[in-house]
Amino acid sequence: MKGIVEIYSDYGLPSEQLLFSENNTIVDGFGEQMAILMTTTPSLSRVSYASALLDTSNYTVRAISFSKDAAGFSANAHAADGIAASGGRGGQVWVGSDSATSSYKPSVTLPSFTSPTDTSLEVVTDGLSAIREYGQNLNLLRYGADLGLTPSQRVRYGCWPPSSGVNLQIRSNSTSALIVSATVSGTFNTVSSMDWRGFVNTTNTGNPLSGLVVSAYSLTGTTTVSAGTMKHTITIASGDLACANLYGGIFSIGLWGLDLESLICDGRMPPYSFNPINTLDYKLFAKKSLTVDLTRIADNGSSAGLTNYQNLTLVWVFRFVT
């Protein structure tokens, strides 16, 4: 199987621009899932509590997630001096900058080299167990209170704005003076497509702003669907990009399927439905590490970068080849 990742601005519009295109890496988790699929006996159809294991949705891509380099989870807005969750700055996320520009360049190193044996987006040794397990940006500004985290912890671990909005600030490292601020809301949380660990669920709406759209794909210049080719489309909205930028950006992307073995061992049988709090277990299928931050932005004349984000659409195509 081959895959390619493309990033677009103004996707589907006359002004559509392809910003990035590269091959992905299929990891061992996908092969493991195919082996489970091919060895699951059809006789389960006669077992009432297990027949749903034969549903093909158990073996397909079910989620997408985003991350940055491992060091980024202890820097930028994650760092102790990059947050303020009480007093005059309650509920705000802020970062310090040595530049006077109204856009933030995260403190980052390159993401880890992608290997077929990867089981997480990054290997992270600090932070919450979910960060260490999956190595990706969490969604605790929205759901941290449901998990009993303090306001300071919710801001520290980030990374996606709630639908009610959050105030983002870039301040001077030398004087703490405010350079620019913006209040942004998150589309992932407005449509409730992302769980607290940062997994964005699939959607059958056909709208990539509503979640991960999985569809058959026609090759360019043809009117028929190409056999064995699937397209996965997701739009990262402007507010989500702005907030992720302050938490270190986006350098890694992963596609995930259900970890059936883990779910069944926990006594959870299908059918499986998405819930932001009562989460499912996932297994990494494919990964793409980038050398360019998807949240990068610069000031444009008098227009501050932090307030000038536009939606980006990611298109990830799998083609099964023989």
Give residue-wise pLDDT tens across range 131-151: 999 999 999 999 999 999 988
Helices and strands per DSSP (H, E), number in the chain:
7, 14
Q: Are 39 and 56 in contact (CB under 8 A)?
A: no
**pLDDT value of residue 217:** 66
What pLDDT sits at residue 311? Answer: 96
CA distances from 150 to 144, 145, 212, 222, 279 (A): 8, 7, 30, 54, 21
Joined tokens for residue 300: 């444009």
Q: What angle do CA 56, 122, 97 make, to 5 degrees?
A: 130
Residue 75 near residue 69, CB atoms below 8 Å: no
Using the predicted structure, report yes or no on whether residue 12 has a pLDDT greater than 90.
no
Q: Which amino acid is at 142?
A: R
SS3 label, residue 54:
helix
DSSP string, 172-207: ETTT--EEEEEEE--HHHHTT-B-TTSPEEEESSS-
What does the pLDDT look like over 199-215, one tens digit per residue? 999 999 999 999 999 98
| H/E segment holding residue 141 | helix 140-143
**What's the CA dihedral at 249, 250, 251, 256 to 10 degrees?**
150
Domain map (residue ranges) of the chain:
2-45+63-319
* Neighbour count for residue 275 (Cβ, 10 Å): 12
The answer to whether residue 44 scores a pLDDT higher than 70 is yes
Is the pLDDT score of 80 beyond 80? no
Report whether pLDDT(294) > 50.
yes
Residue 259, pLDDT score = 96
